[in-house]
Chain A
């Protein structure tokens, strides 16, 4: 018979640290380094709010991608979705549609775009990479068509507030980002559908044989991704006072990178929105730090690339250690027999 395995009772904080330890330590070191190098400039309230504000756009889309990655899929269309939903929002505002209705319509459009991806992935059994690569073109094309290829402006204060307003001293977009983070986290940990996403990504067959409909779960994930991209689209358009069909190019790369940095597995089944948030913060902090140090943007890209590779390698090692039931230290420095 098998031996009884001992389990450490996990309190939420230790589990959180165990899951996100490596990236947190890395992030702490990064912040520490920036504090030392830039002197006082980095650790000022205004700069920290600046970092957070820079992270908003990316983290909203990253939250959407988290659902997708946990399901074992991928979504490359979020950048195009973001640009086009921004245009849609402004167009409806310009038509005189009430503000709240505009928001709802835009979110619905985002959801539809996500569902479109989900439909082809689940019902036509196409590879997610290909479907969303194709729909990326479709959505961006749509954005150009409805805007006539030019940015559409709107300076209605209730609209621009979403991108530029403040609640007390804190910019509204940051609050929106944190709100979405909390909702997504609760959804994944507390609802049956959320748990089923982990199951579908972890072992689709097991999920299926437990009476779960993986197609439905994946469609929901794609729909969520679409909605979150639309939220990002509204925030971006509000920030820029205009819906710009050419915006958001390559945003999907950063959104996926944030997830990978935050320990969300590209193979599905593991990861959290908290991880994605930390990943987005790391990217934003890197950019901010480089800007403070006046490092050329081109060099920033090179460094960012290497950081992502390093993060993935750490993640792979961490998984290997977990599966062998030993600590990362033991895996890297095995004791001699």
Chain B
């Protein structure tokens, strides 16, 4: 039986100082299959792949390729065995051409040295054979993310790979770009390439994969056929317990409780956007990447130049010029990029929580330590942040807990309207449920939440109403009190098919 597998990893052990990263992990792969590798953050997926890649050396266990035991001492070894990687972040060199990137590490040479022309011709042949409409002489920084991903695929093909590891390749792609990636995965499979597909988007398992393997806390949980498993099965395997009540209860607010009213907001990107938000509701904002959801908020904040329209907060017309204006009036933003824009990662949890309240604490050259501790204690406990102490570095927290710190930070400023841009992106399944719970609690306490999200199940299950945008315009506002929402209904408008109402 052993020979049917192109790759077998058995009893893989890997320990880092203080962490047992992998213990007795098993993984196998058949030629021409796409094999999903799933697990929460920190479950050991990337460690396992780095062992396969030769970046980490395993403590013990065996790796067999086509039935033969191999030792991986570095990326070069992995490449020699026909293993290639496509990473979450695009790993191409921006200031080099497509051809140079494809042949990076195995350049073509002639008597005069590196032969740019031959590489360009050869690369063009590969691109053409894959039906990729790209010019091999183009610089990579001119390409869109999707085009760069094509180049990565072409690079893998050029090396005659047998095993291709794809680490969350669709994380930053728009829907249409995802489709083109799926096509490429299918094309690779038909060429007999075995694909290890790491993704947080579980639905992709059923689109692409034949089998999947689940890891949890560095341990092997199991491998199953996709066809016989349900979404719930996968989640349960990942979390290690039954996660039944994933989403919190749906809230409905009274129409007369409008707190924020936006009328005909127009900027360079968005056109004539109108909607309102009520106290105690979660308003979903749906649409494709680039539909202008975040830009609407930026226009309200005055960060993007407003060309027209009016904003009323609490019945009073407001003209925010920047973020600090908006914060004073109670309009706050939990940004999409929580590590980059939401937190000072290198500093402590406490520091991050009191950041907006510094003016209250530092007055007349004295520091009000009592108030400082009070603010930290109150909101850290209200947000149920799991940390060793407030002196722990924010960067060392898990994604879910980091999001809670951002929430605590704004909560201390008593927000009236809280915008949450992709609130659960990159957060573990288990922690997601907690964030949803906190959002519901906040809304119940009277905060109006605007939730921008590309995660359709989240939009469907959390929102009381949903604004759907397409190319800078509001296409439709659904009210869940009036009609049942479905993915199809939202997608029709998000893709611009439905007319404006």
A2 touching B133 by the CB < 8 A rule? Answer: yes
> Interface stretch among A41-49, A130-138, A205-213?
A205-213
CA distance A323 to B144 in the complex (A): 11
Within the complex, which residue of A10, A189, A195, A205 is in contact with B87, where a contact is CB–CB below 8 Å?
A205
Determine how close the nearest CB of chain B comes to the CB of A273; give it in whole angstroms.
Answer: 15
Q: Does B96 contact A (CB under 8 A)?
A: yes
A206 touching B93 by the CB < 8 A rule? Answer: yes
- Say yes or no: A210-B142 contact (C-beta < 8 A), given A5-B134, A198-B96: no
Determine how close the nearest CB of chain A comes to the CB of B172; give it in whole angstroms.
Answer: 15
Determine how close the nearest CB of chain A comes to the CB of B245; give it in whole angstroms.
Answer: 40
- Total number of residue pairs linking A and B with CB closer than 8 Å: 93
Interface residues of B in 93-141 (CB under 8 A from A): 93-96, 100-101, 104-107, 109, 112-114, 133-135, 137-138, 141
A206 touching B133 by the CB < 8 A rule? Answer: no
A7 touching B138 by the CB < 8 A rule? Answer: yes
Within the complex, which residue of A196, A202, A211 is in contact with B75, where a contact is CB–CB below 8 Å?
A211
Within the complex, which residue of A196, A212, A325 is in contact with B142, where a contact is CB–CB below 8 Å?
A325
Q: Can you spell out 28 A-B residue pairs with CB atoms less than 8 angstroms apart?
A: A1-B133, A3-B133, A4-B135, A5-B143, A9-B137, A189-B114, A190-B112, A190-B113, A190-B114, A192-B109, A192-B113, A192-B114, A194-B114, A198-B93, A199-B96, A203-B91, A203-B94, A206-B93, A207-B93, A207-B105, A209-B85, A209-B91, A210-B105, A211-B75, A269-B93, A322-B141, A323-B141, A323-B142
Q: Does A11 contact B (CB under 8 A)?
A: no
Name the CB-closest residue of B to A269: B95
B135 touching A195 by the CB < 8 A rule? Answer: no
Contact with B along A172-197 (1 / 0, CB 8 A): 00000000000000100111101110
- Most A Cβ at <10 Å: residue of B92, B105, B134, B147: B105
B contact residues around A4 at 8 Å (CB):
133-135
Q: Does A6 contact B (CB under 8 A)?
A: yes
A contact residues around B319 at 8 Å (CB):
none
Given contacts A2-B133, A5-B142, A186-B113, 15 further A-B contacts (CB under 8 A): A4-B134, A4-B135, A5-B134, A6-B135, A7-B135, A7-B138, A190-B112, A190-B114, A191-B114, A192-B114, A195-B100, A205-B91, A211-B76, A211-B105, A323-B142
CA distance A205 to B91 in the complex (A): 6
Q: Does A274 contact B (CB under 8 A)?
A: no
B contact residues around A186 at 8 Å (CB):
113
- Say yes or no: A206-B95 contact (C-beta < 8 A), given A4-B135, A6-B135, A7-B135: no
Determine how close the nearest CB of chain B comes to the CB of A191; give it in whole angstroms.
Answer: 5
Q: Does B412 contact A (CB under 8 A)?
A: no
Q: Does A85 contact B (CB under 8 A)?
A: no
CA distance A210 to B79 in the complex (A): 8
Q: Does A81 contact B (CB under 8 A)?
A: no
A2 touching B146 by the CB < 8 A rule? Answer: yes
Within the complex, which residue of A7, A194, A199, A325 is in contact with B137, where a contact is CB–CB below 8 Å?
A7
A contact residues around B109 at 8 Å (CB):
192
- Say yes or no: A270-B76 contact (C-beta < 8 A), given A3-B133, A6-B135: no
Q: Does B180 contact A (CB under 8 A)?
A: yes
A2 touching B95 by the CB < 8 A rule? Answer: no
Determine how close the nearest CB of chain B comes to the CB of A127; give it in whole angstroms.
Answer: 16
Interface residues of B in 473-489 (CB under 8 A from A): none
A contact residues around B92 at 8 Å (CB):
203, 206
B104 touching A206 by the CB < 8 A rule? Answer: yes
- Most A Cβ at <10 Å: residue of B85, B96, B101, B147: B96
| Interface secondary structure of B, over-half rule | loop
A contact residues around B104 at 8 Å (CB):
195-196, 199, 206-207, 210, 212
Determine how close the nearest CB of chain B comes to the CB of A189; give it in whole angstroms.
Answer: 7
A209 touching B133 by the CB < 8 A rule? Answer: no
A202 touching B146 by the CB < 8 A rule? Answer: no
Contact with A along B43-85 (1 / 0, CB 8 A): 0000000000000000000000000000000011001000001
B105 touching A202 by the CB < 8 A rule? Answer: no
CA distance A90 to B137 in the complex (A): 50
Determine how close the nearest CB of chain B comes to the CB of A208; give it in whole angstroms.
Answer: 7
Count of residues in B whose CB is under 8 Å from the partner chain:
35
CA distance A209 to B141 in the complex (A): 19
A contact residues around B142 at 8 Å (CB):
5, 323, 325
CA distance A190 to B113 in the complex (A): 5
Determine how close the nearest CB of chain A comes to the CB of B467; give it in whole angstroms.
Answer: 26
Contact with B along A82-118 (1 / 0, CB 8 A): 0000000000000000000000000000000000000
Determine how close the nearest CB of chain A comes to the CB of B478; give it in whole angstroms.
Answer: 31
CA distance A151 to B101 in the complex (A): 50
Name the CB-closest residue of A to B268: A337
A contact residues around B93 at 8 Å (CB):
198-199, 202-203, 206-207, 269
A contact residues around B147 at 8 Å (CB):
2
The 5 closest A-B pairs by CB, nearest first: A190-B113, A210-B105, A202-B93, A206-B91, A211-B105
B87 touching A209 by the CB < 8 A rule? Answer: yes
CA distance A264 to B72 in the complex (A): 37
CA distance A160 to B270 in the complex (A): 71
Determine how close the nearest CB of chain B comes to the CB of A319; give it in whole angstroms.
Answer: 9
B contact residues around A190 at 8 Å (CB):
112-114
Within the complex, which residue of A3, A203, A211 is in contact with B79, where a contact is CB–CB below 8 Å?
A211
Within the complex, which residue of B95, B100, B135 is in contact with A270, where a contact is CB–CB below 8 Å?
B95
Interface residues of A in 24-81 (CB under 8 A from B): none
Name the CB-closest residue of A to B116: A189
Contact with A along B126-170 (1 / 0, CB 8 A): 000000011101100111101100100000000000000000000
A contact residues around B138 at 8 Å (CB):
5, 7
B107 touching A192 by the CB < 8 A rule? Answer: yes
A contact residues around B100 at 8 Å (CB):
195, 199
A contact residues around B95 at 8 Å (CB):
198, 202, 269-270
B contact residues around A3 at 8 Å (CB):
133
CA distance A240 to B113 in the complex (A): 39
Name the CB-closest residue of A to B113: A190
A contact residues around B76 at 8 Å (CB):
211
B105 touching A212 by the CB < 8 A rule? Answer: yes
B75 touching A208 by the CB < 8 A rule? Answer: yes
Name the CB-closest residue of B to A212: B105
B contact residues around A199 at 8 Å (CB):
93, 96, 100, 104
- Say yes or no: A195-B79 contact (C-beta < 8 A), given A1-B133, A203-B92: no
Determine how close the nearest CB of chain B comes to the CB of A265; give it in whole angstroms.
Answer: 8
CA distance A4 to B135 in the complex (A): 7
Name the CB-closest residue of B to A195: B114
B contact residues around A270 at 8 Å (CB):
95
- Most B Cβ at <10 Å: residue of A203, A209, A323: A209
B contact residues around A7 at 8 Å (CB):
135, 137-138
A contact residues around B85 at 8 Å (CB):
209
Name the CB-closest residue of B to A337: B268
CA distance A192 to B115 in the complex (A): 10
CA distance A6 to B76 in the complex (A): 34
Contact with A along B27-47 (1 / 0, CB 8 A): 000000000000000000000
CA distance A211 to B134 in the complex (A): 25
CA distance A4 to B142 in the complex (A): 12
Name the CB-closest residue of B to A210: B105
B contact residues around A269 at 8 Å (CB):
93-95
Determine how close the nearest CB of chain B comes to the CB of A259; give it in whole angstroms.
Answer: 16
Determine how close the nearest CB of chain A comes to the CB of B170; give it in whole angstroms.
Answer: 16
Determine how close the nearest CB of chain A comes to the CB of B167; give it in whole angstroms.
Answer: 11
CA distance A7 to B136 in the complex (A): 9
A contact residues around B75 at 8 Å (CB):
208-211
B contact residues around A209 at 8 Å (CB):
75, 85, 87, 91
B contact residues around A10 at 8 Å (CB):
137
